Structure 1
Amino acid sequence: MNNLLSVLLLASVQTFAQAPDTTKVPFSGMDMTWQNGNDRRDQPNLQSKYVTGIVMLDVNYTHSFNNPNDNTVVGSTALARNNEVQVSSAALGGEFNYNGARGRIITQFGTRSIVVPRNDYSVYRGQYQLSNAYRYISEAYAGYHFNKWYGINVDAGMFMSYIGLNSYYQVENWEYQASFTSDNTPWFFNGVRVQIFPSKHLKIEPWLINGWQSYGKFNAMPGVGFNITYAPHDNLKLITNNYYGADAAMIPDRKRFHSDNSVLYRYYNKPNSNGITKMAFSLTGDVGFEKGGGVNGFSNGDSTKGPAQYFLSAMFYNRTWFAHDHFAWTIGGGVMKNPGRYLVLYPTGQASPLPNPADPTKTEGAYPFSANPGDQFAAWDCSTNLDWMPNQNLTFRIEYVHRHANVPYFAGKGGVTSPTGYTTTPLPADWRPDLVKSEDRIICAILFRL
C-alpha cells in the first residue's frame, strides 16, 4: 500500500502530459459531468503521462426512525450502521497506460468491503476464501488498447457493471441510498470485456464473466452479456445492459436473463445563470427472470415447472443545479417486484438466510428470511436530498429516504441481532428478529474525490 501511494504521489507532481489529440477519443469534447453515475469533475487532478491517480473517501451518518437496538441497517449496500459515523469507503488507486498497455486498480476499505461481498454465494464453492481474497479490491484489470476506429480495449479482471445506472462510487451519484433497481443489481463483474468504440458517440461492450456479481462461478457455464452506450450530444445519454447466465448455486438448469435500460436527459442548461444552471432527469427500467430448475419465469400457469420468478423495476430521478453549480437538489424514487426474491438484498444477523461461513450447510441466522420459489416481494421507495459542492472534489449531502415493502423486511426497534443488540447475548426461545414493512431515515454524507 505504501509503495502504491508513493507511485501515485510521484505521478501527481510529474510534468503533465501534453493535451491528447481528441479527434479519436470517444465522447471527447462532450460535457458529461452532469450525468448520474459519472465523474462530475471536468478533468482529473492527479494526472501524468502514464498514471492518473484516484483517491475517494465516503463518510456517512444515518439515523433510522425505527431506531433498531443493534444499529444495523437492513437492505442496503450503501449503509451499514445507524446512529454512528461510518467510513463507508476509502478507495485508493490509479489508471496506468504505456504504449497501448493499460491497467486500473482501486482498493476499497470501509464497510462496503464487507457489505457487498457477503451477498456472493459463489465463494462457498471450493476453497481459498475468495471473499477475503478480493474483498479489498473494487476494480482491478489489465488489458490492451488498439487504435482502431475510436479505440478498442480488451480487459481482463474485475470491473464495474453499471447495471442499474448508478456508479459503485457514491461521489458519482445523484442520490446516496440507491433505489431498489440499483441496489439489487450487480455492482461488479469478474471476467473479460471488450470495449469497442466504432464512433465518437457509441460504445459496444460485450462481457464474458464468472457470473452475476460473483467472484467465482456458480455452475459450469460463464455469464455473458453486453453494454451499449450512445450519447449523440451533450444533453442525452442512452444505455442498455443485458445479461444471461446460470446463477443459482447447485441448480445448473436454472437460467437467468436480465435487461437494464436507462435514459439521461439534460433539458435545461444555462451555466452562466445566477439562479438555476442545469436541470436533468434519469429514467431506468429493468426486466428479468429465472427459468428452469423449479421456477418458470413470468408464468404461474404450469405447476409442473414451478412458480413464476422474475424481476420488474423502475426508478426516476430529477436533479436541479443552482448557485453556479455549488448546490443541487434531487428528488425521485422507484418500485420493484421480485417473486422468488432471487435479487433481494437479504437481511443480516439472525434474519440472514446466507450460508454460515463456519458451516455452509446452515444459515447465518437462526430465523432466516425466506427466499423460496413463489415467495413474494414488492417494494417502493422515494427520496430527496440537497448537495453543497464547494468545488468539484467535495460534496456535502443531506438526504431523506422512505422505503416500504409488502412483507416485513427492514430492521425494526428490536433489531436483527439479539434482545440487547449485542452478538454476545444468548437468544431466548421466544425472541425473533424484528423486521417491519417500512422505514424512514436521514443520511448525512461527505464525499471526496481527487
Structure 2
Amino acid sequence: AYLDVSYPINFNFPENHRWRSKITTPRTNEFTPNMALGYVRKDVGPDSRWGMELGVQGGYDTSLLVPAPTPQGDKPVPGGEVLRHVHRANVSYLAPIGNGLTLTAGLFNSFIGYESFYSRYNGNYTRSYMADNAPYFMTGVVAQYPVNDTVKLAFYVINGYNNLSRPNTLPSYGAQVSWNLAPRWTLTQNIYYGPDQSDMSLTFWRTFSDTIVEWKGDAWTLAFAYDVGTEKAVEQASHPRLFWTSGVLFARWNVSGPWSLGVRPEIYWDRNARLTGSEQFITAVTSTLDYKIVAGRHSGLLRLEYRFDRSTGQQGGYFRGGEVSPGVIGLTPNQHLVLFGLLWWFDADSAPGYGFRDFFSGGHRTSLSAR
C-alpha cells in the first residue's frame, strides 16, 4: 500500500489552481491527494517460475493519464477513465533458457526514463517534464534476458506510446540495452519505434530515444538522461517533421542517516507543440530535502521542495492570477513553487534506494515490479 499527499504553494496564485504543461502533480495551492495505491505481487525466480502483478490506484496523479483526442493522433481507448486506475495487471514466466529468459504480458511499467511515476522512488517529489512526457505505463509483451553480469537486453511489443490511446490497429516496438560499464557506472539505451497517428505508413512512425548514464556511490547518486523524439505530422498538409528533446541532470546526496538532498536541473524543448501542446522551451531547477522514517514494514518520507520553472516561446508560460478575458487565465514566463509532501507505504519487502529503473536491478521506472 502507498499514500502520497502534498500541499504545493504556487506563487503565481492561478485562479484555476493548475500547473500548466504538467501531467503529475497538476494541482497547486490546495491540499492534493496525489496517489493512493494498493497492489499484490509475486516475483519470478528459479524456484517459482510464475509471477504476477495486480494493483489499483487513484489520485490527482492519475487524472491526466488519459490523453485528450488530437486530429489524426491520440484517440482515448474505450473505458480509459476506468483503466487509468489500474496500476499493474500482468503475468510473468521465467523460462529455463540460458541465463533465464523472462516473459511478461499485460500492463506493466514503462521501460523508458529515469524517474518513476511514484514519487517515493525519486530523488525529488515532483517529476521532470522529461518524465511527464514519456510513457509511464505500457501494455503488451516483453522478453528480457541477462546476457551476462554486465549486459542485459529487453525487447517489447506494445500498443503504443500512450497505453490509454489507440489511434490505429498496429503495435509499436521497443528495445533496451543496459550495460554496467564499471562497478559504479551504468549506461542504458532505450528505443521506441511505432505508429502513433491514424496513418500507419512507415513514414509517419514515431522514433524516440532515451539515453541514461548513472554513477552510484555510497552516499551520492548522479545521473544524466537525454531524450529526443521525432515524427512527421499526418494532420498537416505538408507533413512537416516534428521534433522534441529534453535533458536532465539528477543528483542525490544522503547527508546523514534519514536526511537526504536531491537537486535536478532540466530543460525541455517542444519545438512543434507535439508533446506538451505548446511551442515552448522550458528550463527548471528543483531542490528537495527528505527526512525518512522506518518502523518495521512501514516507511514514510517528509519532503520539503522548492522549484523554479521558466517557459518561453511562442506559446510558453504558466498560469497566473485570474482571467484576462472570459475563460482565459493569464500567463507569465516564470513560476516559483514551494511544496510540502508526506508519503507513507507498507511493503512485504523493502524497496531499494534511489536510482535507475531497470528490469534487472529492481529499480524504478523500467522495473516490472510494483515500483
Q: TM (normalized to structure 1)?
A: 0.69
Q: Distance in 2 between matches of 1:97 and 1:320?
A: 30
Counterpart contact for 1:317–1:330, Cα < 8 Å: yes
Bigger proportion of residues as strand: 2
Counterpart contact for 1:294–1:307, Cα < 8 Å: no
Residue 264 of structure 1 corresponds to 214
Superposed CA offset, 1:284-321 (max 9, x none): 011121126367xxxxxxxx844441112100021111
Q: Quote the offset at 1:120 in angstroms.
A: 7.1
Residue 312 of structure 1 corresponds to 245
Residue 368 of structure 2 corresponds to none
Q: Distance in 2 between matches of 1:378 and 1:72?
A: 19
Q: Distance in 2 between matches of 1:123 and 1:130?
A: 15
Answer yes or no: is 1:382 the counterpart of 2:290: no
Residue 88 of structure 1 corresponds to 34
Counterpart contact for 2:66–2:76, Cα < 8 Å: no
Listed as ranges, the gaps of 5+ residues in structure 2 are: 347-371
Compare relative contact order (CA 8 Å, sep 6+) and give the higher one, 1 or 2: 2
Answer yes or no: is 1:72 the counterpart of 2:18: yes
1:309 is paired with a residue whose SS is strand
* Aligned partner (choices 397, 413, 433) of residue 303 of structure 2: 397
Residue 184 of structure 2 corresponds to 235
Residue 205 of structure 2 corresponds to 255
Q: What RMSD over aligned residues (CA atoms) do the two structures have, in Å?
A: 2.5
Q: Distance in 2 between matches of 1:144 and 1:80?
A: 37
Q: Greater shift after overlay, 158-167 or 395-404?
A: 158-167
1:199 is paired with a residue whose SS is coil
Q: Quote the offset at 1:234 in angstroms.
A: 5.0
Residue 37 of structure 1 corresponds to none
Percentage of identical aligned residues = 21
Q: Quote the offset at 1:429 in angstroms.
A: 7.0
Answer yes or no: is 1:281 the counterpart of 2:222: yes
Residue 52 of structure 1 corresponds to none
Which structure 2 residues correspond to residues 110-189 of structure 1 after superposition, within 5 A? Answer: 110-118=59-67, 124=75, 129-189=78-138
Residues 88/341 of structure 1: CA separation in 2 closer, same or farther (3 Å cut): same
Superposed CA offset, 1:310-360 (max 9, x none): 112100021111223x1111112111212221111x4xxxxxxxxxxxxxx
Superposed CA offset, 1:21-40 (max 9, x none): xxxxxxxxxxxxxxxxxxxx
Answer yes or no: is 1:343 the counterpart of 2:271: no
Counterpart contact for 1:309–1:338, Cα < 8 Å: no
Q: Distance in 2 between matches of 1:83 and 1:256?
A: 37
Residue 413 of structure 1 corresponds to 321
Q: Quote the offset at 1:118 in angstroms.
A: 4.0
2:80 is paired with a residue whose SS is helix
Q: Greater shift after overlay, 376-385 or 223-232?
A: 223-232
Q: Quote the offset at 1:449 in angstroms.
A: 2.5
Residue 38 of structure 1 corresponds to none
Superposed CA offset, 1:395-417 (max 9, x none): 11111111111133322112xxx
Q: TM (normalized to structure 2)?
A: 0.82
Superposed CA offset, 1:8-53 (max 9, x none): xxxxxxxxxxxxxxxxxxxxxxxxxxxxxxxxxxxxxxxxxxxxxx
The structure whose Rg is larger is 1
1:58 is paired with a residue whose SS is strand
- How many correspondences in the alignment? 334
Listed as ranges, the gaps of 5+ residues in structure 1 are: 1-54, 270-277, 296-303, 347-370, 420-427
Q: Quote the offset at 1:280 in angstroms.
A: 2.1
Residue 334 of structure 1 corresponds to 266
